[in-house]
């Protein structure tokens, strides 16, 4: 029984790591290993428009499958890697790239985290500058020193020194 459980745990562990390798089907692969390697590099740079945070190389979505086939078709047509990416971007926009270029359409995407951080720092500075300052300890008057001395049974000079 323990060996069965150990085998089951091992099978589940291996099954969990093999998920992304199932995305590319054997019928999608190019016969030429060099061209297939080029296609896989391009696939890893393109976003799955369904999954959004996965590359088309890792995604099981039908659209990712179609994009992988399109990449391979363009490679077989003789396009360079950059031409393949430009073709896909022309059809789907810069959003299809996992690392979009820094231009007027994407500057907020690139600078957004920095702007949020600076805004938060500005709010914190304003908040702490406007926060009330702790009042300095006021000196006791002579009358207050006499009353305090009477209450605790000491002399006024002892109280002033403390």
Summarised one tens digit per residue, pLDDT across range 26-69 is 777 777 889 899 999 999 999 998 887 899 988 888 898 999 99
Q: Determine contact, residues 21/57, Cβ cutoff 8 Å.
A: no
Give the separation between CA 33 and CA 70, rounded to whole angstroms.
17
Q: Which of 60, 56, 52 is nearest to 18 (CA)?
A: 60
The torsion angles phi and psi of 55, rounded to 5 degrees, stand at -80, 165
**Tens digits of residue pLDDT in 68-98:** 999 999 999 999 999 999 999 999 888 899 8
Q: What ranges make up the beta strands (E) of the chain?
A: none
- Please indicate, yes or no, whether the overall pTM of this predicted structure exceeds 0.85: no
- The fold adopted by the segment(s) 20-120 is Helicase, Ruva Protein; domain 3 (1.10.8)
Domain extent listing, the chain:
20-120
């Amino acid at each position: 029984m323990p060996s069965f459980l150990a085998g089951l745990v091992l099978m589940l562990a291996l099954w969990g790591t093999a998920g992304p390798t199932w995305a590319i089907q054997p019928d999608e692969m190019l016969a030429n290993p060099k061209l297939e390697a080029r296609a896989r590099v391009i696939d890893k740079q393109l976003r799955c428009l369904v999954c959004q945070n996965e590359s088309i190389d890792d995604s099981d979505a039908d659209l990712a499958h179609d994009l992988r086939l399109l990449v391979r078709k363009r490679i077989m047509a003789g396009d360079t890697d950059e031409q393949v990416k430009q073709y896909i971007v022309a059809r789907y926009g810069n959003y299809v790239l996992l690392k979009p270029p820094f231009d007027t359409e994407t500057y907020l995407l690139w600078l957004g985290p920095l702007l949020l951080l600076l805004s938060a720092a500005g709010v914190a500075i304003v908040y702490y500058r406007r926060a009330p300052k702790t009042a300095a300890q006021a000196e006791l008057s002579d009358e207050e020193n006499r009353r305090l001395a009477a209450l605790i049974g000491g002399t006024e000079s002892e109280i002033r020194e403390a």
